[in-house]
């Protein structure tokens, strides 16, 4: 069931960042809410965020993670990196956010490894084997939007090492773009439950598609930031 306070929080973060310069590509309110839910349930302490942008998802991670956790943010665009530094409010000094402007040559050079959560909102310049070593035993990967290439790299990288993966696609009621979650070393129950929900979502797309104003899985043209 949706928690109204979580939704209000997600909408307030979205509204704050939507009003800032360069907000065309920020995460949707739906994805923000999904990330908040995940952070509250899983309590990851080591996070890498790929594609910090102007800071929307970083703000959520910093607000929600327990003190002493470590966030590493990669932002390859200098202008966005500067906006990130202006926009993100770091409320506790117990936080250790690293900011990187370039992807380290080898995953072994990352400041934090392995991580509990990898947030992907940009392209993923890593090979299968490189992404696999970044991910802790039961790590989660949160992909904003569809990101089929990044999803494939993560999934195949884990599978190649015999790590079973559960995949869940969540979308808003109007079936516009949402987010994907991947879980490394998922249990059989997780794989079945997430797989069933994702398949049910696809079936729903086919049923309601003719009545929708958006193509399923795509951006909304009216309220989405990405217009």
Ligand X SMILES: C[S@@+](CC[C@H](N)C(=O)[O-])C[C@H]1O[C@@H](n2cnc3c(N)ncnc32)[C@H](O)[C@@H]1O
Interface residues toward ligand X, by CB under 6 A = 22, 24-27, 51-57, 75-77, 79-80, 121-122
24 or 109: whose CB is closer to ligand X? 24
10 Å Cβ neighbour count for 43? 13
Residue 196 beta carbon to ligand X: minimum distance, rounded to whole angstroms = 29
Residue 145 beta carbon to ligand X: minimum distance, rounded to whole angstroms = 8
- Is residue 57 within 8 Å of residue 27, measured between CB atoms? yes
Residue 137 beta carbon to ligand X: minimum distance, rounded to whole angstroms = 26
User: Which residues does 61 contact at the CB level (< 8 Å), separation at least 6?
Assistant: 35, 39, 47, 49, 71, 119
126 or 186: whose CB is closer to ligand X? 126
31 or 167: whose CB is closer to ligand X? 31
Residue 105 beta carbon to ligand X: minimum distance, rounded to whole angstroms = 19
Identify which of 191, 219, 222 has the alpha carbon closest to the alpha carbon of residue 28: 219
6 or 191: whose CB is closer to ligand X? 6
57 or 166: whose CB is closer to ligand X? 57
Residue closest to ligand X, measured at CB: 53
Residue 124 beta carbon to ligand X: minimum distance, rounded to whole angstroms = 11
Q: Tell the burial category of 27 from Cβ atoms under 10 Å away from its Cβ (0-12, 13-18, 19+).
A: buried
Q: For residues 63, 68, 70 and 73, what is the CA-based torsion angle, rounded to 10 degrees?
A: 40
């Amino acid at each position: 069931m949706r928690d109204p306070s979580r939704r209000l929080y997600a909408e307030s973060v979205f509204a704050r960042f939507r009003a800032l310069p360069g907000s065309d590509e920020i995460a949707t309110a739906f994805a923000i809410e999904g990330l908040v839910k995940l952070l509250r349930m899983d309590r990851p302490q080591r996070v890498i965020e790929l594609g910090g942008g102007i800071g929307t998802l970083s703000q959520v991670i910093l607000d929600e993670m327990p003190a002493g956790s470590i966030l590493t943010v990669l932002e390859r665009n200098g202008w966005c990196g500067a906006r990130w530094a202006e926009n993100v409010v770091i409320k506790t000094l117990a936080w250790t956010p690293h900011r990187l402007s370039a992807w380290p040559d080898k995953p072994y050079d990352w400041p934090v490894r392995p991580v509990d959560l990898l947030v992907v909102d940009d392209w993923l310049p890593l090979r299968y084997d490189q992404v696999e070593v970044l991910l802790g035993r039961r790590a989660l990967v949160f992909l904003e939007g569809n990101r089929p290439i990044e999803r494939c790299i993560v999934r195949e990288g884990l599978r190649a090492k015999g790590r079973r993966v559960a995949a869940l696609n969540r979308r808003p009621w109007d079936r516009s773009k949402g987010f994907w979650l991947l879980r490394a070393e998922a249990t059989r129950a997780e794989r079945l439950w997430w797989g069933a929900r994702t398949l049910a979502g696809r079936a729903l797309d086919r049923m309601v598609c003719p009545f929708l104003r958006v193509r399923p899985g795509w951006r909304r043209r009216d309220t989405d930031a990405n217009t």
